[in-house]
């Protein structure tokens, strides 16, 4: 549905996007994740034809962004990071004005406006001027604006930024719901948000795609080695010594146990997903006379992946 190939963008001498390529399939909810200044908004502005690329191509529903910008725009609902709103207009009036600009047929306009106002929880403020709305409500107007022409594709640039926790939850639920019948590309730097909403994630860092994968396969982890967590009732030193005799275990390290009392020891180690090392550990503990309180695989979280590909220090650019 969206196809981006070697997209490159210079702002004067500053290389903001460096040969960015990715695909978004119809019906997907894709999280576009990256630290500040990574190039998320720049990519979105190019796909939505608000900014020309320096090189590379992008297609939306088979239409090229350079050759057919009108066709592209018609198919996309875009919520930019700074929603440009006419502060002196009333909510309903603004959405009506936007629907007209977006060529929503006159007969359908009222119904569309009612529908998006209801979905974005705006009905009760429809006669309020936008300038008097709180930040969260303005975000909702931006979202309603993106949806008013009933586009197939939604491109949302950090839709939950600046919202209170309750509104964040509501907007996430709405985006997820919209994902059932739309293709969605949503940018964020909030990792749990991606885990809650998205099927796929694209991580961008320093203008380059650092990784893209489905959340399901991310959780499984691509490597055959997985981390285990072990909690045993036994003396830490001795347990450690015995663990080191188990074949196939690497990166063994003690792990503090906060709730166990003195005789409980915690460890993490790595071992092959298949191959029986975990079973061997359990057996060794039991034959040594220590009971196993917990032994579990620790699946990789999106945060682990993010730290691997972007680094712990999040670079922040002006």
Ligand X SMILES: Nc1ncnc2c1ncn2[C@@H]1O[C@H](COP(=O)(O)OP(=O)(O)OP(=O)(O)O)[C@@H](O)[C@H]1O
Q: Rule CB under 6 A: is residue 42 a binding residue for ligand X?
A: yes
Q: Which does 265 bind (CB under 5 to 8 A by kind): Mg ion, ligand X, none?
A: none
Q: How far is the CB of 17 from ligand X (least distance, A)?
A: 8
Out of 5, 25, 36, 62, the residue judged to bind ligand X by CB under 6 A: 36
The CA distance from 277 to 290, in Å, is 17
Q: How far is CA 223 from CA 217, 226, 254, 260, in A?
A: 11, 7, 23, 32
Q: Which residue is nearest to Mg ion (CB)?
A: 41
**How many Å from the N-terminal Cα to the C-terminal Cα in the chain?**
33
CB count in 10 Å sphere of residue 275: 13
- By beta-carbon proximity to ligand X, the closer residue of 21 and 288 is 21
| Shortest Cβ 34–ligand X spacing (Å) | 5
Max alpha carbon distance in the chain (Å)? 79
What stretches of 43-94 adopt beta strand conformation (E)? 55-60, 63-64, 76-79
Token pair 């409500």 in the structure block, residue? 137
Per CB under 6 A, contacts with ligand X among 206-265 are: none
Contact with ligand X (CB under 6 A): which of 41, 167, 183, 212?
41
- What x/- string results for residues 3 through 22 when contact with ligand X is judged by CB under 6 A? --------x--x-x------
232 forms bridges with which residues in the sheet? Answer: 265, 292
| Of 22, 24, 34, 232, the one binding ligand X by CB under 6 A | 34
Residue 212 contact among Mg ion, ligand X, none, beta carbon within 5 to 8 Å by kind: none
**Partner that binds at residue 87, options ligand X, Mg ion, none, CB closer than 5 to 8 Å by kind:** none
For the bound state, the minimum distance from the C-beta of residue 271 to ligand X, rounded and expressed in Å, comes to 37
CA-nearest of 51, 34, 138 to 94 is 138
What sign for the dihedral angle of Cα 149, 152, 157, 158?
Answer: positive
**Min CB(191)–Mg ion separation in Å:** 16
Q: What kind and span of H or E run contains 5?
A: strand 2-11
Among 2, 16, 30, 41, binds Mg ion (CB under 5 A): 41
Which residues share a beta bridge with 20? 7
**Per-residue x/- mask for Mg ion, residues 72 to 101, rule CB under 5 A?**
---------x--------------------
Residue 301 gets which letter from DSSP? P
Tokens encoding 276:
């029986």
Q: For tokens 């300038």, name the residue.
A: 131
**Whole-number Å distance between alpha carbons of 299 and 276:** 17
The interface partner of residue 59, options being ligand X, Mg ion, none and the CB cut-off 5 to 8 Å by kind, is none
- Binding-site string for ligand X from residue 66 to residue 105, where x marks contact by CB under 6 A and - marks none: ---------------x------------------------
Burial of 279: CB neighbours in 10 Å, binned 0-12, 13-18, 19+: exposed
Q: Does 48 bind Mg ion (CB under 5 A)?
A: no
Which residues in this chain contact Mg ion in the complex, by CB under 5 A?
40-41, 81
Binding site for ligand X (CB under 6 A): 11, 14, 16, 34, 36-42, 81, 189, 317
């Amino acid at each position: 549905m969206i196809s981006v190939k070697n997209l490159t963008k210079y702002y004067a001498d500053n290389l903001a996007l460096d040969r960015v390529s990715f695909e978004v399939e119809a019906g997907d909810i894709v999280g576009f994740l990256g630290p500040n200044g990574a190039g998320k908004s720049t990519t979105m502005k190019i796909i939505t034809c608000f900014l020309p690329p320096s090189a590379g191509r992008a297609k939306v529903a088979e239409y090229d962004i350079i050759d057919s910008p009108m066709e592209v725009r018609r198919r996309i609902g875009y919520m930019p990071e700074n929603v440009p709103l006419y502060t002196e207009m009333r909510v309903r009036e603004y959405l009506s004005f936007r629907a007209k600009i977006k060529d929503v047929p006159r007969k359908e306009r009222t119904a569309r406006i009612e529908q998006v106002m209801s979905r974005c929880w705006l009905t009760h403020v429809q006669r309020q001027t936008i300038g008097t709305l709180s930040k969260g409500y303005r975000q909702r107007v931006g979202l309603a604006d993106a949806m008013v022409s009933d586009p197939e594709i939604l491109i949302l640039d950090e839709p939950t930024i600046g919202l209170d926790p309750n509104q964040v939850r509501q907007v996430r639920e709405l985006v997820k719901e919209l994902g059932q019948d739309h293709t969605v590309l949503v940018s964020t730097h909030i990792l749990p948000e991606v885990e809650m909403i998205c099927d796929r994630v694209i991580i961008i860092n320093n203008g380059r795609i650092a990784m893209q994968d489905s959340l399901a396969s991310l959780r499984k982890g691509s490597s055959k080695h997985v981390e285990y967590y072990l909690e045993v009732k036994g003396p830490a030193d001795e347990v450690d010594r015995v663990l080191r005799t188990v074949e196939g275990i690497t990166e063994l390290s003690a792990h503090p146990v906060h709730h166990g009392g003195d005789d409980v020891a915690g460890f993490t180690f790595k071992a092959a997903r298949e191959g029986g090392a975990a079973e061997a550990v359990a057996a060794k503990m039991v034959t040594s006379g220590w009971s196993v309180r917990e032994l579990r695989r620790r699946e990789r979280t999106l945060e682990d992946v993010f730290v691997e590909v972007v680094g712990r220090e999040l670079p922040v650019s002006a």
